[in-house]
Structure 1
């Protein structure tokens, strides 16, 4: 064979295999050392098609051989490779995460003095070519030659998921190439050494300059500067990397920490590391295993399949499991979990990984598998390895004569002369080698039971796939389980047989993702909004969940507090973890021109209609649909619907984010502006239904003047739909934009137009979403702004909401009254509606300051104007103002008429706050008046409104109503449950009255349950803290009376009666205080004070005892009047009152208070002792005892059975 023929065949072999050892070439072509040297010089130096690696191997660096004309891509080639054979370079520029290498020759200045310029030029060219060969091998890009230095980067124009690893490997390869280069330049009196610095970070990459000075792929940013500064810190022939790069290659390389280095030109120190060597870890998953894996989550079914197939394999039914799933979905984790599950069973486990670096290295995964089987060590001598090979073959009964000559070349080992020299053709040798490998593995399986794992089959070389195909044909009767993992773009060339099983890993469900987050946080809860973002961004991909959660924990977004995490400030959108950035960019780069469509679509959002994309795309219909088809095929997008009616969805939020963030900010703004304009002009229904979309796009376009009105519309629409939290977000967005405006005429005008309105709407939304204190502050700001710009209507609206807010959560309103009086004076006489609204607000505010008569006067004036205008909404608002002013017990019947009219007009009302007012007033009044059916209907209607509005306050208030209703009917457990629910909401609202309401409810419940003794310490504590407040002293007096402690009851009662009860405030607690006193007075049999109390209660005979605006309802007032009359021995009056109370409590369904009435009535009858009284008393006592026992009213039951009054 001639030299030229050997040269041609060697080049062809290198193109196909990528790497060939010199030993293999010598054996294949029977070369001597001199002939081999000539071949190396021709390939390495003359043709520059390969480089020498360590003096042992030739590594191909030339262009891959193109497919023959008309040939099809491999059936198993990734989808993306068919889409984009060559990456494209953007002329506009892109934002990218790149890993940048800065390489510089050491001592280049002395070299220039030592060498002739021509010699120096040749030397530097050789150095550059050596660098280029290594960088090209790892698919890097030479960015710039800088004299004797060069800048290279990884991640553009095509990204890889391991660009940082490639960069570090390339840097180490450049260092390793220096001895060979020096040997080739041996005639020159120099020894070349290099320094390399590497940094990973964000850059803008694209065309710069012009004419002859145009750079097609220049990079801008601090990343190349940092790499260059790190290079200066490196020792000769060493590599220094930044912490950002180290985080991406940690565990794959041994590194030495250099500490935080102060680098020239950089404001902050940079943590740096010196790279020492590559570790044995084959993947980031192996690194993660060494650090400790998170528990496997949500793969129970898949684990069961693997275990079931292993059971079959052990019994001699060989099995193949094809395990498919996208990157990060958990294929390797599932395999590792399976390994842990079968660890106790006898078997042999062999595992190998296919690698993107070895796709052109024949049988690389098989060789790696066998090397692990033979326990080869990196520092083993060839003879040691050969001995291990021979022992391994002999162990399983294989012929050394047949196998060693075939297998030794796989490991670049010399074949001893004792073995026959092979005289086979290349094809025959290949076939015999495959059979030998196959026999070896089947022998292992037969003896020990074998689990054979090949990971990442999508990167396998054709020879490996061919060998696997032959092996899998023989598996059916072997004790072998083969697990083959790969990504969806790979189609296995073998399937459809009975001993094959296919597992496709899908996304985790939300609870499973939440479980993963909890594992990462060590069981500590994240704030709900942070958890929601993680779940939304990661789409159930375990790697995404884990990495994004780690980023959150390592950031300043959250801080640990009492066993959980809380937000440290406002929550921005979560950024793509740097550990995922390269992988996501790589997926996009494989799309070719379709990538540009993905970027455009990403600007619209996570999902988008085809028609909107078509409207903003410069691409024609046919080309656009073709690009979308590519995106769907590559599983970047999902499609729902057909052709022009289709809607598309990004499969992963992070893919969408990566596509979007790769656009230059200026380009993004242009696209956002175009989208907003198209929505306004061509998609008006969408713009009207979703104004937040238009607002978002104008905001991102940097056009606040256009965006703010849409944020306001979005807030108004959300409020109408009771989407209160969304309204808060929209309105805050608008306000933030207003803060960015300058001092131009247009900007000042829009600020004046929008600021107070946005604040008013925000205050309303905050109130409805359960933040009354924030709402109060916001509404005060809105009122002040409205006053500044002279907007009376907006000022009144803000004050109206302030009044409602203040009433609901107990905030002061006195300071707002002068402002409202001032507004009233400035209103024009002919603006009746605004005047009526102002009068109504003023009446409500005055009612809260106990200025009842003045409030009533304003309310009547406002109502008169509203009636004159015949405006239903205004009438209802002002009737509500009347109801506010008429809160006392003396006006219950008048209030009943007012609320009846409000109810009648409610069919004309759409404002939910106003409807809430109607049913709130109505419920409270009906509780006092005692109409059971109407009260029950009002509570139910109020509940529906509260749930529709999603207002926490309304929900809490309705829950209080339901607690009161349940208590009145004797459903004590239900009442307690409702009371606790209402309190929980009230506490979240920071409502000051929540604790007082719960206290009254629990006091009433415990009294009926005979458990007042439990509350005595608490009531004493509150009385000590608030000696003159509310019902604490009357409550303590009741406790003493109920417990039979006469002297203590007497002391408290005397204190309360010192002014004949005239000092007791006539507020919402007056009635319950009077009934408590009536009960204590009856217990003490204090006739003098009984007369006073009787006269005070008599006007309210027709009402019920309602505590604190429907907090608790204790049945008819007449029961207490009757007990006082009996104390005074006014028997006929007592009987009349008792009969009234029996009827009223029966009609109300107030069973506990009916039982109390029956008991007290019976005691009165026994004391009066007229004919027939005893018989009637026994009947009443029997009925009362039955009810008391049924409802677990222990105190009442004990009094009845003991004969106590």
Structure 2
């Protein structure tokens, strides 16, 4: 054995260049020493990032460059420096062959962390993450046998639970010791591992954790999964991308001299530098080749002769180096290359022919001496010193022989008969690569098994890849069992849905449905139709296509299969909801409910009740909605499905908030949050976070809202198919409106609503124009939405909020006719709150809006009754902003009616509203209250010099600040012509000849600049 690693204490091989345990560079070679000197700027940046990680400010660094440029060597030197600074270094290396199991780099990192720790230490740091991570690393289950069973949840929630467990584990691990995680060759990582890295990325900057990943940029295309991951990483704080270029001529000469043991001729250095462009691997291999061929002379003539024999590319260099090895060694190495970058001699011996097997020990020794292979710490394990060595050998194998070798590798793995869980992925890869000359049946079987294993590990992208291999294997021969293709397609569609690739899932499910219908296979057709509807519903897309296939599946279904009929009908009802066909959806729902009750399966009945509960948004169906949710909760509990029971309880929470039972809502929300944590359910966590934000808005805790909303967005952003940005937009719109800062969001909202997809936002845009004092723009939007009695408003979860916005616009515009229509639409909500969705935002008591609309129609008694009810409900539930708004609008009504005592009562309401607005930081309301107090005679009107109006004084401040008319128009959201009119009036009133004099007037009268 060699020396002891100074970092982890592991004994190493005598010839080891870095520790296999922690990755610490032990004895850099001459080549590496020259290389490290050339990489001083990159290593300096990495060292700064390590010191930041030690201080708790971690992040990620991506080290990229072409093959052989020195990415791994730079990472090894970074590991040595990190260990010297006090970071523990954990290594993972991604395999170029596709036979590695899912999450392979993360498995390696976990194994490296666990090495040398006793069971108690592992249990302490793993904590609640142990059970989810045991599926990823079976060794944990063996060492920690008393892990609790995980509750059953759907696929997306299970994957979130795994990812969240991994994040929690690294959080606790870095609390114990700072860590550097090095992932080599990230371009070969499976897509599921990349999604996990994306999930962890937002947390890195707040941890004593630095991730260093190397990758080949030449491997990346726009479609490569790593391209998206790098985009996600670049959006996070604490991310750097380092591009490694070639060495300069000076370092090239230094590297050649160290390798040759003498100073090479300048002409030869020039030629090598020109050919290699400073690629360190190319330089090192070319120098060795020239030395072997005796062409590293010191005279000019040998240098010139050598220049004519220098290869043009790295593959040629490697090829010529390989040609210097014996034919037997090349045969052995070719078989090893088929196995992969790393290989076991026992497996290699089973693959080789008898003659090659006898030559195997000598071949390995010769390859080690030529520095083409490296011996690993585990006896009998080797790996190619660089991926390019393996790639060159593999690509030189003729396709027919390559196919035969892959088959022999697969058969050798099967003959070993061990229980290695990694073998399933390797078998799927090698059997698929053996086609068309291999065994198609085994290829399909192994690919299916690998897909099932990947699904169990929540590696849905990998499951999809294996299922595509199975489908490709079907093409190798005919005569497969009926229904196999559609079954594989259904499984592939489900894998895409679980991974959040909904458009791909829809295409696959529709293809499966077409095949199943053509082959008259009702079970596969139902599965495809149900999958298509889920893949359509999750991202909120119209359900027309799904409805068509669900109807086809219902026609083909077996009459006695009531359970399948119930599921199909429930999905059809939901698809019809998302197609805007509510009346028909209610009819189908009645059939679904009847079928679900007949089938006698409590889980199917509970699922049916919940799947279509959104049909009962309307207040007239509130009692039925509450009864359905309570029944679903009881059924799910009886069936032992806690997640389904909690999902049903969310509707009870909604009912409590809508009814103004905030105390009951708080109690229920706390229980819901506990369930979300226990179940590790990401959607439940998101709903809970959004609910907390909504509650803070209702109660006027405005200082907390922005942080809560960002937290909600951070959770939701990690969930495919969820419009987390839309929810965040509504919550921030509500906050900015109260703060009087809507001008900040106006440009983004105006740009967003230009497309048809943004129609749900148009009521908010109309209200925005009202708030910014742009009545013409507000009327334009209002008229578009008011056509046919507001028929264009979708009757969905945000219908109530959209109608509430339009009611406020209608009052501001004084539109009596539309006020009656909107009053009728909102009248069923009297006595309750108006919510956007179930947990987005709350307007407060609907009676405030009803009072405002009745006031526009001059129905004074009805308005009085509604305002009185709104004041009572908002006060009882602690809705301070809504209570202040109600007081202001009631005062506005009293001033308009102007009967005996109305003005004094209005003044009292305004005093209370103004005090509350000031206390809560509601600037917009405070300004409106102040204006009404002037009207009510409760406060003097602000006096501006020279008879300037309030808007003219505002414009004059901007003039004094040196802004142009166009700039002022952009700030105030008015036209430049309007500003020009104000400026002319200002010049006239202040008797100023120009803008300069007007600015001087403003300063003299303490009006500027803005």
TM tier, shorter chain? Answer: 0.5 to 0.7
For 1:205-229, what per-residue CA distance to the aligned partner results, in whole angstroms no more than 9, with x for missing partners? Answer: xxxxxxxxxxxxxxxxxxxxxxxxx
Alignment of 1:13-24 (within 5 A): none
- Secondary structure, counterpart of 1:790 in structure 2: coil
Contact 1:927 1:1110 survives alignment (8 Å):
no
**Residue 529 in 1 paired to residue 226 in 2?**
yes
**Residue 1136 in 1 paired to residue 869 in 2?**
yes
Displacement of 1:1175 in angstroms is: 10
Aligned to 1:496: none
Q: 2:469 aligns with which of 726, 733, 741?
A: 733
- Secondary structure, counterpart of 1:828 in structure 2: coil
Q: 1:1181 aligns with which of 913, 917, 928?
A: 913
Alignment of 1:176-195 (within 5 A): none
Q: Distance in 2 between matches of 1:775 and 1:912?
A: 28
User: Residues 714 and 579 from structure 1, CA distance in 2 versus in 1: closer, same or farther, beyond 3 angstroms?
Assistant: same
**Residue 829 in 1 paired to residue 559 in 2?**
yes
For 1:593-643, what per-residue CA distance to the aligned partner results, in whole angstroms no more than 9, with x for missing partners? Answer: 7776655444333345676556656789999889878878968245345x5
Aligned to 1:499: none
Alignment of 1:586-601 (within 5 A): 586=321, 599-601=334-336
**Residue 803 in 1 paired to residue 533 in 2?**
yes
Contact 1:1126 1:1134 survives alignment (8 Å):
no
For 1:515-570, what per-residue CA distance to the aligned partner results, in whole angstroms no more than 9, with x for missing partners? Answer: 9978x99x99996637999xxxx9999899986999xxxxxxxxxxxxxxxxxxxx
For 1:915-951, what per-residue CA distance to the aligned partner results, in whole angstroms no more than 9, with x for missing partners? Answer: 99768877877765663454576578679989879xx
Displacement of 1:824 in angstroms is: 1.8
Displacement of 1:878 in angstroms is: 1.7
Q: 1:762 aligns with which of 464, 487, 492?
A: 492
Aligned to 2:340: 605
User: Residues 932 and 625 from structure 1, CA distance in 2 versus in 1: closer, same or farther, beyond 3 angstroms?
Assistant: farther
> Higher mean Cα deviation, 916-925 or 853-862?
916-925
For 1:717-773, what per-residue CA distance to the aligned partner results, in whole angstroms no more than 9, with x for missing partners? Answer: 3334332322232223333333x424xxxx2315x5432223223223333334322
Alignment of 1:288-307 (within 5 A): 298-299=42-43
Q: Which has the higher strand share?
A: 1
Q: Distance in 2 between matches of 1:331 and 1:639?
A: 16
Contact 2:463 2:495 survives alignment (8 Å):
yes
Contact 1:603 1:660 survives alignment (8 Å):
yes
Displacement of 1:844 in angstroms is: 2.0
User: Residues 976 and 647 from structure 1, CA distance in 2 versus in 1: closer, same or farther, beyond 3 angstroms?
Assistant: same
Aligned to 1:192: none
Aligned to 1:1196: 925
**Residue 1074 in 1 paired to residue 803 in 2?**
yes
User: Residues 1042 and 609 from structure 1, CA distance in 2 versus in 1: closer, same or farther, beyond 3 angstroms?
Assistant: same
Contact 1:867 1:875 survives alignment (8 Å):
yes
Contact 1:1114 1:1153 survives alignment (8 Å):
yes
For 1:671-726, what per-residue CA distance to the aligned partner results, in whole angstroms no more than 9, with x for missing partners? Answer: 43244335446546435x66332111111222333212322333343334332322
User: Residues 1197 and 937 from structure 1, CA distance in 2 versus in 1: closer, same or farther, beyond 3 angstroms?
Assistant: farther
Displacement of 1:879 in angstroms is: 2.0
Q: Distance in 1 between matches of 2:312 and 2:625?
A: 62
Contact 2:677 2:685 survives alignment (8 Å):
yes
User: Residues 1157 and 863 from structure 1, CA distance in 2 versus in 1: closer, same or farther, beyond 3 angstroms?
Assistant: same
Aligned to 1:657: 391
Gaps of 5+ in 2: 1-13, 17-29, 49-66, 76-181, 187-209, 231-241, 248-275, 283-310, 936-1010
Aligned to 2:585: 855
Displacement of 1:805 in angstroms is: 2.4
Q: Distance in 2 between matches of 1:1115 and 1:908?
A: 36
User: Residues 1046 and 79 from structure 1, CA distance in 2 versus in 1: closer, same or farther, beyond 3 angstroms?
Assistant: closer
Q: 2:550 aligns with which of 807, 820, 824?
A: 820
> What is the RMSD computed on CA atoms of the aligned residues?
6.0
Aligned to 2:373: 636
Q: Distance in 1 between matches of 2:572 and 2:768?
A: 42
> Higher mean Cα deviation, 1046-1055 or 775-784?
1046-1055
Aligned to 1:50: none
Q: 1:1098 aligns with which of 790, 806, 827?
A: 827
For 1:409-464, what per-residue CA distance to the aligned partner results, in whole angstroms no more than 9, with x for missing partners? Answer: xxxxxxxxxxxxxxxxxxxxxxxxxxxxxxxxxxxxxxxxxxxxxxxxxxxxxxxx
**Residue 748 in 1 paired to residue 479 in 2?**
yes
- Secondary structure, counterpart of 2:523 in structure 1: helix
Q: Distance in 2 between matches of 1:922 and 1:627?
A: 72
> Higher mean Cα deviation, 1115-1124 or 523-532?
523-532
Contact 1:1159 1:1184 survives alignment (8 Å):
no
User: Residues 1102 and 782 from structure 1, CA distance in 2 versus in 1: closer, same or farther, beyond 3 angstroms?
Assistant: farther
**Residue 582 in 1 paired to residue 582 in 2?**
no
Q: Distance in 2 between matches of 1:656 and 1:331?
A: 16
User: Residues 547 and 784 from structure 1, CA distance in 2 versus in 1: closer, same or farther, beyond 3 angstroms?
Assistant: farther
User: Residues 1187 and 583 from structure 1, CA distance in 2 versus in 1: closer, same or farther, beyond 3 angstroms?
Assistant: farther
- Secondary structure, counterpart of 2:479 in structure 1: helix
Aligned to 1:686: 420
- Secondary structure, counterpart of 1:749 in structure 2: coil
Aligned to 1:783: 513
Displacement of 1:887 in angstroms is: 4.2
Contact 2:654 2:839 survives alignment (8 Å):
yes
Q: 2:885 aligns with which of 1153, 1156, 1162?
A: 1156
Aligned to 1:1120: 849
Contact 1:832 1:869 survives alignment (8 Å):
yes
Displacement of 1:833 in angstroms is: 2.4
Q: Distance in 2 between matches of 1:507 and 1:982?
A: 26
User: Residues 711 and 899 from structure 1, CA distance in 2 versus in 1: closer, same or farther, beyond 3 angstroms?
Assistant: farther
Displacement of 1:903 in angstroms is: 4.7
Aligned to 2:444: 708
Aligned to 1:172: none
User: Residues 1159 and 540 from structure 1, CA distance in 2 versus in 1: closer, same or farther, beyond 3 angstroms?
Assistant: same
Aligned to 1:368: none
Displacement of 1:779 in angstroms is: 1.8
Contact 1:833 1:866 survives alignment (8 Å):
yes
Alignment of 1:102-181 (within 5 A): none
The size of the alignment, in residue pairs, is 674
- Secondary structure, counterpart of 1:748 in structure 2: coil
User: TM-score by structure 1 length?
Assistant: 0.46
Gaps of 5+ in 1: 1-77, 81-282, 305-325, 335-505, 551-575
User: Residues 1080 and 1058 from structure 1, CA distance in 2 versus in 1: closer, same or farther, beyond 3 angstroms?
Assistant: same
